[in-house]
Amino acid sequence: MRKRNSGKDKLITVALHIALAAGLFFAAFPIYWMLSSSFKSNTEIFALPPTILPKAFTLEAYAAILGDPVKLRFFFNSYFVAGAVTVLTVLIALLAAYGFSRFNFRGKGSLNTLIISTQTIPPITLLIPFFGLVVSYGIFDTYVALILTYLVFTLPYAILLMTGYLNTLPRDLDEAVAVDGGTSWTALWRVIVPISLPGIVATSVYTFLLCWNEFLFALTLTKSTSMRTVPIGIQLLMGQHAFEWNQMMAMSVLGSLPLLLIYLVAQRFFLAGMTAGSVK
């Protein structure tokens, strides 16, 4: 009886490992393919049968991108827009979340519901209205257009995320500041913000990723090459007559690096409990 059971357990373990390996392959292969293709020449990419490892390892794709000011501008635009939206989102979400978390005011419930309900609207349905608004305000093809539009999409979720985080922080801390001679404003900046780093980092990463990867609105609300962001830049490499696959892949690698770095730097904030020792 026991033997049969252990045999069955072994079978389940093996099956589980095979399933996990298949999952890993499914998830990791595109990344590998992106990396590998970025080090190939464009001719090798079109070779049949395809080469798993680059036969002739080359950095020509990277050189083409990093040496081209137009393509570097895509990176600058992406960094600038995503960075600005992240800073603004965190600031606004923090203030809004502090209000939701710490104060009672008329219409608080309805406002909360309104914020959540904006998440149910598919962004694409807002594309035409936004285009109209942006044109009529005279901000078409500017950073302002992208930043304001992205804020509309990042803020609701960021407010919810930050409110949830602030709700976990003991109110005694705010009250201790009040007794110590501070205002709510003091409590927010001197105590709540420093201990909210995990929440702020989570919100920032979410916001930055959303902006960094955004394609549709960046494509619609900008026109000149100098205003394009990385996702559009990658797409621009698909020419009418030629597909610069190696450059597209190299640009994808360079585009993914900041995200990877952000994750590596930020992950310790997700793990540590910042309020340890505060109460009890």
Partner 1 sequence: MAEVILENICKTYGNNFNAIDHLNLSVEDGEFLILVGPSGCGKSTALRMIAGLEDITSGSLRIGGIDVVDMPPKDRDIAMVFQSYALYPHMTVFENIGFSMRLAGKPKAERKKRVDEIAKTLQLTSLLDSKPANLSGGQRQRVAMGRAMVREPAAFLMDEPLSNLDAKLRVQMRAEITSLQKQLGVTTIYVTHDQTEAMTMGDRVAVLKGGVLQQVDTPKRLYESPVNAFVAGFIGSPSMNLFEATLTGDDLISGTFAVRLQDEAFIRRPGLRSYAGRKVVFGIRPEHLYDSSLESGRKYQTIPAKVTSIEELGSEHIVHLNIDAVRVDSGDPDAVEDFGRASNAVAKFEPVSTVRSGSEIQLGLDDVKLHFFDPETHLAI
Q: Which residues bind partner 1 (CB under 8 A)?
A: 170, 172-173, 175-183, 186, 190-191, 194-195, 274-280
Nearer to partner 1, 7 or 194 (CB): 194
Burial class (CB in 10 A: 0-12, 13-18, 19+), 174: buried
Q: How far is the CB of 170 from partner 1 (least distance, A)?
A: 6
Closest C-alpha to 158, from 195, 219, 199: 199
Q: Which is nearer to partner 1, 14 or 178 (CB)?
A: 178
Beta carbon nearer to partner 1, 173 or 262: 173
Task: Name which of 191 and 253 has its Cβ closer to partner 1.
Answer: 191
* Cα angle 49-53-54, degrees, rounded to a multiple of 5: 90
Measured from the CB atom, is 41 or 184 closer to partner 1? 184
Residue 68 or 180: which CB sits closer to partner 1? 180
Give the nearest distance from C-beta 104 to partner 1 in angstroms: 10
243: left (phi over 0), alpha (psi -120 to 50) or beta: beta
Return the structure tokens found at 43.
């001719």
Minimal distance, residue 174 CB to partner 1, in Å: 9
- Min. distance of Cβ 205 from partner 1 in angstroms? 21
CA-nearest of 6, 7, 36 to 250 is 36
Structure tokens at 195: 């201990």
DSSP 125-178: GGHHHHHHHHHHTT-TTSHHHHHHHHHHHHHHHHHHHHHHHHHTS-HHHHHHHH
Kindly state the smallest distance separating residue 194's Cβ from partner 1, in Å: 5
Q: In which residue are the tokens 């080359």 written? A: 58
Rounded CA-CA distance 187/193 in Å is 8
- Within 8 A by CB and 6+ apart from 262, the residues are 205, 208
Give me the least distance between CB of 200 and partner 1, in Å please.
13
Question: Smaller CB distance to partner 1: residue 13 or 167?
Answer: 167
Q: CB of residue 78 vs partner 1: minimum separation in angstroms?
A: 33
Asked if the peptide bond before residue 129 counts as cis, ω within 30 degrees of 0, the response is: no
